[in-house]
Structure 1
Amino acid sequence: MLRLFYSIAISLYIISGVHTTYAQEITGIVQNPKGNPIESATISIEGTTLKTSSDAWGKFTLAYNADKANLFIRAVGYQPLQKKLSKEDFSKQHTFALQEDNRNLEEVVVSGTMKEMSKLDSPVPVEVYTAKFFKANPTPSIFDALQNINGVRPQLNCNICNTGDIHINGLEGPYTMVLIDGMPIVSGLSTVYGLSGIPQALIERVEIVKGPASTLYGSEAVGGLINIITKKPNNAPVLSADVYGTSWGEVSTDVAAKFNVGKRAQSLFGANYFNYQNPIDNNSDNFTDVTLQNRISIFNKWNFDRKDNRVFSLAGRYVYEDRWGGEMDWSKAHRGSDEVYGESIYTSRWEFFGTYELPVKEKILFQFSANGHDQNSYYGDMPFMADQYIGFGQLNWFKTLGKHDLLTGLAYRYTYYNDDTGATVNASHTHLPALFVQDEITLHPQHKLLLGMRYDYNSIHGSIFTPRLNYKWNSIDKNNVLRLSIGNGYRVANVFTEDHSALTGSRKVVFEEDLKPETSWNGNINFVKKIPAGSSFIGLDATAFYTYFMNKIIADYDTNPNEIGFGNLNGHAISQGVSLNIDVVFANGLKILAGGTFLDVYSEEEGEKVNQLFTEKFSGTWNAGYTFKNLGLSVDYTGNVYGPMRLPLLSEWDPRNEYSPWWSIQNIQLTKSIGDKIEVYGGIKNLLNWTPNKGNPFIIARSHDPFDREDGSFDDVTGEPIVSPTNPYGLTFDPSYVYGPNQGIHAFLGLRYTY
């Protein structure tokens, strides 16, 4: 494989030429329909590798030496614009007005290759979801907002504290890397808690890459990555607010404001506050159905104007959360005691990150981040106290040589982690320097090849090498795009994120061996087709994927109901499937985005095939919206559907279903515009009133005896549960039988203000 990479790269370097110096300039201003400037629009010339971006005032300059140019202008949330210019037009100042567009097919993306480019031009398939997409189903956190994206599923891991992670194509949360503005902010401890409290008023878009991205982003990007792109201060409204409440008593508030400091600095400030303090027990197990939360998050981002439009931005976020779930009569006085069972978590988290473009002729970016996470929690009478600090720095050098767009990077990440469990005897200090190289080769306007490789040296696990290869073909009109990808991924285990139920107080963590890093090989085929149909439009996006894992780390729930065993698989694991997204925009304004994913995820050891826990065979999502323009009224109908998934049972007598049923969460929303600044919205969530207790005698095992005290229920010597009159199913207290939210049907009402 290495010889193939090197031979292809060397051959293409020899064949390719280097651009000459251009004397003429094309200048212009990019605006929206209201005449406001559009920053970071991408301007390129067909048939060349020349491109640039508009500045904060929408202005751009592009050097070009020819008799004519076919100009393409693209920006997030707008329809692409094509303009043919003659040599006489080059010296004129042009104004280009872009029309708004929600089809998400020509948007600018950065996650696949670490540089801005059109979604259709990217050799790596990237899915883009704008802020408008998430407004169709308002939620208090980005964790919940991802539920209507095909192939992405927020998975609850505990019936009591309601913590969770994000599954991509059936792979659990530890395989998903979450970035904020390209920075690896959310990882380790914060994978479980850090997805809450990102103010949605500040989100420009969310980019999702499915499949290994370890070549560029390193460990934790095996299953894919989610990159949350925040708004630039210049593009944000002066003031915006979004407040809503639900019939369960939840209140969520998002506020954002921008301001200028002098002539060269712009700042964007945002705050999110979520409060829910209404214990409800609709399934009658004496435990709260939904965790009570009190959370505040503050975000501040700065952009600084510099000479030659060089980049300099800084951002920071602080999150504090107090959440608890447990028996209905639990109070703060019971925290950490064995009188009344409750799970109480105090989370304090800070983040700081930024990007600085070096003042040199070459384009070199320095990206940096630091974050600290303090966890103070009790699961019943079992404490879990943990601290994590991460420092990250990365230099990216972008260089264009003829048909080659090169990216070379040096990265370093330091991680400090310590907790009070038996799994962590001493605090760990992990050093992770890395070097990566990427070459995007334009073989032809219709053909691109992407070669990449990364070398990491983990201070604990040693050297790790991850290569990748991507190929893209598109038709002349770009209505058909085919992508082929193959890549390697790796992941280093973090016990806390491996399985949160290890900390519920109900099971003991057992390590069968020293855990080795997982490695995987992934291949996928992606095909995108655009079908213009008069004033209507149809977009198809289909992908087939296959991942083969070595040394996979699997939690063993089955051997001992009192333990969770962690060890490397002595065999292999497979994740494979197909997915399809359909995007339809009708001439009358009706818009439908629907998708479905078929999954087959299993492990095989000593000839025995075992389906992965908490993994559905099929999932589907949809988002349908229509606007009555004469009334200023929009209707959004959103939902998802999931097929059966295998669930952990505690004994052969456990009466709960081994597989979940088919289930679906559906929502409807009405939005009324009042002038240009105000929107009032409301609707109903979970229209079918579905909850996971339906069809099951109970969800939480032995909820009446959370400290396992009843005499005759457990063996006096081994402590194992035994079948007895007081324990007829031979169970122990356990809240890990969870696959969906416990919140039934509820109404919501909100208001948005934008100035």
Structure 2
Amino acid sequence: MVKILFFAYTILYFGMLNAQNSEISGTISSNGVPEAYVNIYLKGTQIGTASDENGKYSLKNVPSGKYTLIASNIGFQKFYQILTITEGQDKIIDINLKPSIESLDEMVVTGTLKPVSRLESPVPVEVYKPTFFKKNPTASIFEALQNVNGVRPQINCNVCNTGDIHINGLEGPYTLVLIDGMPIVSGLGTVYGLSGIPNSLIEQIEVVKGPASTLYGSEAVGGLINIITKNNLTAPKFFADSFVTDWGEFNLDVGTKFNVGKKANVLLGANYFKYDNPIDNNGDNFTDLTLQDRISVFQKWNFTRKNSRIFSLAGRFFYEDRWGGEMQWTPEFRGGDEVYGESIYTRRWEVLGKYELPIEEQMMLSFSYNDHKQNSVYGDVPYLADQRIGFTQLTWYKTIGKHSLLVGSALRYNYYDDSTPATFSTEGNEPDEVLIPSLFIQDEVAFNKKHSLLLGGRYDYDSRHGNIFTPRAAYRFKFTDNDIIRLNAGTGFRVVNLFTEDHAALTGSRDVIIAEELKPERSFNVNLNYLKKIYGDNGTFVGLDASLFYTNFQNVIIPDYDTNPNQIIYDNLNGTSISKGISANVDVAFYNGLKLMIGGTIQDVSNTEDGVKERQILTESYSANWSVSYDIRTWDLTIDYTGNLYGPMRLPTLGDNDPRSDFSPAWSIQNIQLSYDGIENLEFYGGVKNLLDWTPNRGNPFIIARANDPFDKEVTFDANGNAVATPNNPNALTFDPSYVYGPNQGIRSFFGVRYTLN
């Protein structure tokens, strides 16, 4: 009898319990098409499921209360809806998902100078969104690019920490950096153009690997990076992002948007970075990290015009005070020979705009101008520089049948003056000033949905080097919607502009020798790219992007560190320089919130002269990048593990007696981050950078040669100017901070907060 009563009570209890709970059901679709395997759950609970092959879902046994319903799937924006469940009340909620701008179908403009779906572009373009860089937050885009496969920020000076961007092993002068498609970051300002841009203002970063001189002219030889800022209409109303590290670094991004009258809206942002805590963990009496005080203000105006024609105007002001050197250095020692320091004051401003002509034909006028002034000292050697770049371009787009035409004309003005031999002649100081007019044409033929062919050519006239012609061709074969092959071939050129900031950083320790009148560099490139997408039945997504690349350079200008350890000799290579290799990215996203991204590059960059082949200095033979992210949805927590690995590089030592290794070891920087977004509009994040506490002094007796005598006061030289061995200098070394291939900053923790008001 007791068992019968207990059984009846149990049935009654669970019947009453089920009667109190409710069911939420419905159909998930996108543009009327059912979406299978979409994850749907109630935030903060264990209640969740996935839609079936017909897009239908059902959440059962939902207690009464207030919930946030969330639906998410690869390639779509997250769906949120707040709802209240009362006792015994079922709800039917149909969900329409919107495509995400972060899917593989995003729009790109860099490859062909016009907006096109990434899948339809005949030129392979890699796209990186802000969420990619948030996995390892940094104070500048320069640092953030360390997580991009085949792209490496190279620090060129141990003391001042300036550097450039290498793409597929090619040095910084071969990389062109654009902001909103305008080539305002080049030469002297390369590293500064990538510092101080508020990360929160960036819509996406597009990377093209290989020559792009046909569309962008000189300097786009190895590749280009296009930083695209947010559209005023889609940017948040207000945002703030700030983080600190236990080294004492502080970074702040703030921004807002507002309307001015009825026909103008403004996007305003600012970045401030400060680090003023000298640290010397490697014990050489030099700062491991350059001290910096930097501010950048960015403003972008969009104007409303008839027929939705474009008119935008943007400007940026940048100022930085940075120094590195001996720990006891203070500003009163600037420029003297008592205490060594490298002090750099930089002031830079930029303006750029786009104006669509008010005519029936689709014509766009683009323009930019920047002024970069620098006041630097490297010990007791001054480096004063002034660079101005003006650029204007008129493009005409026209579709005729299967042909998509682009015709354009550009005019570039370069002015450069400094206190080095670069602008010195027998008649005295002679600034480098040149006006380069250009014409270019491009025709993309869409034979059908599977086949398209792009042909293009560019003509430039440089008064120093005469006529320069750069053709290119690109073929795209889309044999299924998820399989695309692209074959690109083209030429590139780079006019002579030796002295960027990284070269100037060495003038305090080595003499600069220009061997002869330098000729413009030329290159030929072939790139084969394969893009594959796989959608699993359980909601898993896999993306593969792989490329074979080959570049052959003629007249390449290579700094020679080896012939004379006290000199850097610049000369055109009497031979060939070849960069070749394979690169691949794999992205995997699982329905349970786990995401993986793995990239790798194997490359051979070498120079052959007089039959002798030599590996290019400061170039890794292989590299890898990865990120692993996992969303713990019930806790509103995301875990990100990121890292990179670089193979050995040949390093600039000071001759056979230098005890430092001629090659770097394989090295890796790894990071971990936790972020929490359970509070509306707020996100908290923190973690540890450089988990392995790796620094380049491992395995070396020292990094900076003769750090104890930075002015070479105790070095004895022979009649030819070469250092000789003495009891206090047994290896015949001179002061040299150029032996650098990675950051000196070891393990450190960070914590930050983001606030976004949409």
What TM-score do you get using the length of structure 2 for normalisation?
Answer: 0.86
One-letter identity of the residue aligned with 1:364: M
The answer (yes or no) to whether the contact 2:75–2:104 under 8 Å persists in 1 is no
- Residue in 1 that maps onto 2:171: 172
Matched residue of 2:447: which SS?
Answer: strand
Cα deviation per residue 1:170-191 (whole Å; 9 max; x = unaligned)?
0000000000000001001101
Structure-2 separation of matches of 1:396 and 1:718: 56
Displacement of 1:624 after TM fit?
A: 1.2
On the 8 A contact 1:437/1:454 being kept in 2, the answer is yes
Map 1:108-123 to 2 at 5 A. Answer: 108-123=107-122
- Report 1:203-602 matches (<5 A): 203-425=202-424, 426-476=430-480, 478-497=481-500, 499-500=502-503, 503-534=506-537, 535-602=539-606
Equivalent residue in structure 1 for 2:629, among 625, 631, 648:
625
Q: Secondary structure of the equivalent of 2:635?
A: coil
Aligned to 2:748: 746
Q: Match for 2:519: what amino acid?
A: K
Q: CA deviation at 1:78?
A: 4.7
1:97 Cα deviation after fit:
5.5
Residue 717 of structure 2 corresponds to 715
CA distance, structure 1, for counterparts of residue 635 and residue 347 of structure 2? 45
CA distance in 2, matches of 1:399, 1:580: 35
CA distance in 2, matches of 1:502, 1:327: 16
Q: Distance in 1 between matches of 2:381 and 2:210?
A: 37
CA distance in 2, matches of 1:77, 1:384: 50
Cα distance per residue 1:670-692 (max 9 Å; x no partner): 00113230000000000000000
Letter paired with 2:212: A
Distance 1:654 1:435 in 2: 51
Is the contact between residue 502 and residue 509 of structure 1 (CA under 8 Å) also seen in structure 2? no
Separation of aligned partners in 1, 2:643 and 2:75: 23
* Aligned amino acid, residue 533 of structure 1: G
Amino acid in the other structure paired with 1:733: F
Whether the 8 Å CA contact 1:78–1:107 is kept in 2: the answer is: no
Q: What secondary structure, in the 3-state scheme, does the structure 2 residue paired with 1:656 have?
A: coil
Specify the code of the residue in structure 2 equivalent to 1:448: S
1:346–1:375 CA contact under 8 A, matched in 2 = yes
How far off its partner does 1:502 sit?
Answer: 5.7
Q: Given residue 100 of structure 1, which amino acid in structure 2 is its aligned partner?
A: S
Spell out, residue by residue over 1:149-177, the C-alpha distance to the aligned partner (whole angstroms, 9 max, x if none).
00000000000000000000000000000
Query: Could you tell me how far apart the structure 2 residues matched to 1:134 and 1:107 are?
Result: 17
Deviation at 1:629, TM superposition (A): 1.2
Deviations 1:306-361 (A, max 9, x none): 10000000000000000000000000000000010000000000000000000000
Give the aligned partner of residue 193 of structure 2.
194
Within the candidate set 731, 734, 737, 1:732 is matched to 734
The residue type paired with residue 229 of structure 2 is T
CA shift, 1:96, in A, is: 8.2
TM-fit CA distance, 1:423 = 2.2
1:121-173 superposed Cα distances (whole Å, 9 cap, x missing partner): 00000000001111111000000000000000000000000000000000000
**In 2: Cα distance, 1:448 partner to 1:266 partner:** 39
Q: 1:500 is aligned with what amino acid?
A: H
Q: Secondary structure at the match of 2:191?
A: helix
2:517 maps to a residue whose letter is D
Name the CA distance, whole Å, in 2 between partners of 1:714 and 1:518. Answer: 39
- What is the identity, as a one-letter code, of the residue corresponding to 2:627? N
- Partners in 2 of 1:573 and 1:154 — Cα distance? 21
Residues 59-100 of structure 1, C-alpha deviations (whole Å, 9 max, x = no match): xxxxxxxxxxxxxxxxx98579xxxxxxxxxxxxxx985143
Gaps of at least 5 residues in structure 2 are 1-30, 33-37, 39-73, 79-94, 425-429
- Listed one character per residue, the Cα deviations across residues 258-286 of structure 1 (whole Å, up to 9, x for unaligned) are 00111111100000000000000000000
SS in 2 for 1:706: coil
Structure 2 CA distance for aligned equivalents of residues 451 and 143 of structure 1: 33
Identity %: 62
Shift of 1:444: 1.1
Separation in structure 2 between the aligned mates of residue 400 and residue 480 of structure 1, nearest angstrom: 26
Cα drift, residue 364 of structure 1: 0.2
* Change over 3 Å in CA distance of 1:513–1:96 after alignment to 2: farther
Per the TM alignment, residue 498 of structure 1 is displaced from its structure 2 partner at its CA by 8.4
Deviation at residue 720 of structure 1 after TM alignment:
1.5
With normalisation by structure 1, the TM-score equals: 0.87
- TM-aligned CA deviation for residue 437 of structure 1: 0.1
Measured against aligned partners, the alpha-carbon deviations of 1:426-469 in whole angstroms (never above 9, x if no partner) come to 01111110000000110111001000000000122111000000
Summarize deviations over 1:652-704 as a string: whole Å, max 9, x none: 11111111001000000000113230000000000000000000000000000
Residue 287 of structure 1 and its aligned partner are, at CA, apart by 0.2
How many correspondences in the alignment? Answer: 665
Aligned ranges for residues 141-152 of structure 1 at < 5 Å? 141-152=140-151
Distance 1:552 1:498 in 2: 19
Letter of the 1:752 partner, please give it. R
Partner of 2:98: 98
Counterpart CA distance in 2 for 1:206 and 1:668 is 23
Distance 1:183 1:676 in 2: 37
**8 Å contact 2:506–2:738 — kept in the other structure?**
no
Q: 1:565 to 1:498 in 2, by over 3 A?
A: farther
Give the secondary structure class of the aligned counterpart of 1:145.
helix
Give the counterpart letter for 1:751 in structure 2: V
Other structure's SS at 2:137 match: coil
Q: CA deviation at 1:497?
A: 2.4
3-state DSSP of counterpart to 2:241: strand
For residues 590-647 of structure 1, give each alpha carbon's deviation from its aligned partner in whole angstroms, at most 9, with x where no partner exists.
1111100001000000000010000000000001111111111111110000000100
Q: How does 1:673-688 map to 2 (within 5 A)?
A: 673-688=677-692
Q: Which amino acid aligns with 2:385?
A: A
CA contact (8 A) 2:162 2:502 kept: no
Query: Following the alignment from structure 1 to structure 2, what is the Cα–Cα distance between the partners of residues 572 and 560?
Result: 22
Using the alignment, how far apart are the partners of 2:496 and 2:741 within structure 1? 23
* 1:281 aligned counterpart, secondary structure: coil
CA distance in 2, matches of 1:453, 1:79: 39
1:698 and 2:702 correspond: yes
One-letter identity of the residue aligned with 2:513: V
The answer to whether the Cα contact below 8 Å between 1:157 and 1:501 also exists between their aligned partners in 2 is: no
Within 5 Å, give how 1:48-63 maps onto structure 2.
none
Equivalent position SS for 2:187: coil
The separation in 2 between residues aligned to 1:498 and 1:487, in whole angstroms, is: 29
Q: How much does 1:532 deviate?
A: 1.1
**In 2, distance between residues paired with 1:716 and 1:632?**
68
CA distance in 1, matches of 2:731, 2:613: 27
- Equivalent residue number for residue 129 of structure 1: 128
Q: Which amino acid aligns with 1:367?
A: S
